[in-house]
Amino acid sequence: MPGSGMDTDIMGLADSRLVFVGSTQTPRAKTNVDATDSNGDVAARSYIGTTTVDDVECRYALTSGTLDLSTVPLGPIGGAVVRTALTVETTGDGWPQVTSTGISGAVDTDSMPTFSPPAISVSGTKRAQALGFTKAAGCRLTGSSFEASVELAEQTDSQANICAMGLSGGNLDVSADLVEVTTAASATADTTYGLTIVQDAGQDKAPDKYGTTTVRFNRTLVRDT
């Protein structure tokens, strides 16, 4: 709709718990093909490429209830829309922010697989939350992030129009931002969700602040059967 605000929930996630905040829809640009003359000036120009595909991002706030992240798979979600990434950010300063990224105008969606994240639950409350990990008792969690993603492959024809698409390479990254209070800040992976620590706790200290650190976790996402 013209004017201020965006009211197009292209990814279709909004409900009574998950409030639609806004969206970005960016059409793919055509590519210039030039022929130059002896002076290096453009003697002829044509434009090729697909203009029916849009890059899409929809943003939400989880303000009540809970969201089971396994119920938001990556892949085709209906029509010609494909979700290629799902991110969640939690802090003590606000409600969980959820972002669904992908494309509209996709082709070959009937042959695309889906990739479901693990069943990590996010609460619609204003606080930092553990997303598949457990923090040590003597520290506090100040923020966390969750990013599930897949790779989108595209095949173009002789006119640079997209004629085939596919998905692969499911991946999940999780991080925990911590501050030490009575003991050094640390966190461990919850094996229920198949996460592995890929960057353990370090230390960021100064005389005028409590020590902070970020612990990072990872796992692959397999195709749904």
Q: Which of 174, 175, 180 is nearest to 203 (CA)?
A: 180
Tokens coding 127: 């606080």
Q: What is the pLDDT of residue 205?
A: 76
Q: What is the pLDDT of residue 22?
A: 94
CA 34/CA 44 separation, integer angstroms: 6
Q: What is the pLDDT of residue 129?
A: 98
| Residue 117 · residue 172 · CB < 8 Å | yes
Task: Give the count of alpha carbons within 13 A of 195, CB side only.
Answer: 31
Q: What is the pLDDT of residue 2?
A: 54
| Residue 54 · residue 102 · CB < 8 Å | no
Domain map (residue ranges) of the chain: 18-220
How many other C-beta atoms are found inside a 10 Å radius of the C-beta of residue 43? 11
Query: Which residue has tokens 């300063």?
Result: 93
Q: What is the pLDDT of residue 28?
A: 86
Q: What is the pLDDT of residue 167?
A: 96
Q: Which 3 state secondary structure label does DSSP give 181?
A: coil
Strands 209-220 and 204-206 turn out to be antiparallel
Q: What is the pLDDT of residue 161?
A: 86
CA 130/CA 218 separation, integer angstroms: 14
Per-residue confidence of the chain (225 residues) as pLDDT tens digits?
Answer: 555 455 689 999 999 999 999 999 999 888 899 999 999 999 999 988 877 899 999 999 999 999 999 999 999 999 899 999 999 999 999 999 999 999 999 998 999 999 999 999 999 999 999 999 999 999 999 999 999 999 999 998 888 888 899 999 999 999 999 999 998 899 999 989 999 999 988 877 777 788 899 999 999 999 997
